[in-house]
Amino acid sequence: MAIDKKNLRIRSLTAVVFAVIMLAGLFINGFTFITLFIIISLGCCFEAIKITRLIEPNAWHKFLPVAVIYAFLPVMLMIDLGFNLSFLSFLTRGKNLAPYSFILPAAVVLSIWINDTMAYIVGSLIGKTPFSKISPKKTWEGTIGGAILCVLVMGLIGFYLPVGQGLELKHWVAIATISAVAGTVGDLFESKLKRMANIKDSGTFMPGHGGFLDRFDSLLFTAPLVWLYVKLFVI
């Protein structure tokens, strides 16, 4: 499968702008981080409701709680990962805000980015074996290659970069592994929803990438599992 150069240029340009916004939200301070992820959550929620209405026009309201939880809970857990207290405590304590740490949220976001990017590149170059009927463009070669490279790069970050010392190497590897597997499942889940709704993209806010759910479908499945891992084995 050859690389679509025009599509790659559009995706790359949009990705640069997107990356700047994401990195600014992650690294400036805790409030930019919260603001960023609340916007993400609202965008995902709006699109999840839209898709639900397309799938079940006459009974979509029955699935409204599921759509809201699908969009909001993972993002709230990501916010929780950025602070040494629960998110609810932050809301009730006001100025008594625990120090914000970007390491865990950044580890999740970077793992997903690396896995998605490497899977796309590897799949475009050598992908031949279809991975799933739900997403025909995915290949086993791309999926496996993306996961391996994701774990490798995150392991190198954890081992060599000073910022990586905030987590033990085994945790960088574990988070990367969880992100690669859960991210792929999340992507397939959203692809299934779009097929049921008979739409190509969940939205149009990112040229070449689609909508909020198209961009953050992996995060919505990864965040709860990483959160659980962190609570059990890191903190």
Q: How far is CA 7 from CA 2, 130, 184, 209, in A?
A: 12, 21, 21, 10
Residue of higher predicted confidence among 5 and 129? 129
Say what the pLDDT of residue 92 is: 47
Q: Is the pLDDT of residue 16 over 90?
A: no
Say what the pLDDT of residue 90 is: 47
Mean of pLDDT values over 208-230: 91
Q: Which structural domain, as residue segments, surrounds residue 88?
A: 5-234
Q: Which two tokens stand for residue 30?
A: 């805790």
pLDDT band at 15 (very low <50, low <70, confident <90, very high): confident
Mean of pLDDT values over 176-198: 96
Q: Taking a C-beta distance cutoff of 8 angstroms, is the pair 76, 89 a contact?
A: no
Mean of pLDDT values over 98-116: 90
Q: Is the pLDDT of residue 231 over 80?
A: yes
Say what the pLDDT of residue 9 is: 76
Q: Is the pLDDT of residue 209 over 80?
A: no
Q: What's the sign of the alpha-carbon dihedral 227, 229, 234, 235?
A: positive
Q: Is the pLDDT of residue 17 over 70?
A: yes
Query: How many structural domains is the chain composed of?
Result: 1
Mean of pLDDT values over 203-227: 88
Exposure string for 44-74, b = 16+ CB within 10 A, e = fewer:
bbbbbbbbbbebeeeebeebeeebeebbbeb
